[in-house]
Structure 1
């Protein structure tokens, strides 16, 4: 994931709201580079033992720097 992240414009991320054993983690996002556009939280239920969220991030873009030229 870390190698592909610089090429991504959008991220669909599932966040599990629990501490789970394991050694695979999605890389930390630099939130100055991403904006959260959707955050859908779900509580634990019969099918999902932990609460979780579906989050969608889009890469934050710097405004275009438009310069006028004469010619």
Structure 2
């Protein structure tokens, strides 16, 4: 089983504010869709509730301590460990947020797919520090500002060392 954490993260590790992203990067959405389609995606309840509807062609695993939570159309797990155990053993699964779930999931992740947004934002959710003793960057692709992207950003791939 391969567990990949995927996130768009600002220079100050910001993820979002008031359960919303604080930037709009269409190419990052396309990349997220391309990487996660057809896979199990693990997320916290607040992240799930930030979607207008469940994301198509993915199996949603929602982590919540609320035992009565049943939004329909997804699997509910009471811990990150149980969420990971639900995912198929011979497939890649993704942890997609938010801040608390990333912190809980980091020890279980094999790979990080990060979109580093080259700006700092006011936020109330943050990605955990990526410790260079634990993670090695193996791929990087810079993308400049253009007419659809207000901020420059870099795709970064890290693997556990």
Q: TM-score range by the shorter chain?
A: 0.7 to 0.9
- How far off its partner does 1:19 sit? 1.3
**Of 30, 54, 58, which residue of structure 1 is paired with 2:159?**
58
2:8 matched residue in structure 1: none
Deviation at 1:21, TM superposition (A): 1.9
| Larger radius of gyration between Structure 1 and Structure 2 | 1
RMSD: 0.7
Q: Which TM-score applies when normalising by structure 1?
A: 0.80
Q: 1:42 aligns with which of 126, 143, 151?
A: 143
Counterpart in the other structure of 1:27: 128
Q: Which has the higher contact order (CA 8 A, sep 6+)?
A: 1
- What number of residue pairs does the alignment pair up? 60
Structure 2 Cα separation of the partners of residues 45 and 26 of structure 1: 26
Dislocated runs of 4+, deviation >6 Å: none
**What's the TM-score, normalizing by structure 2?**
0.36
Structure whose residues are more often helix by fraction: 2
SS of residue in 2 equivalent to 1:20: coil
Distance 1:46 1:2 in 2: 34
Structure 1 residue 22 displacement after superposition: 1.4
Q: 2:98 is matched with which residue?
A: none
* Structure 1 stretches lacking a partner, 5+ long: 61-71
Structure 2: gaps spanning 5 or more residues: 1-101
Secondary structure at the aligned position of 1:4 is classed as helix
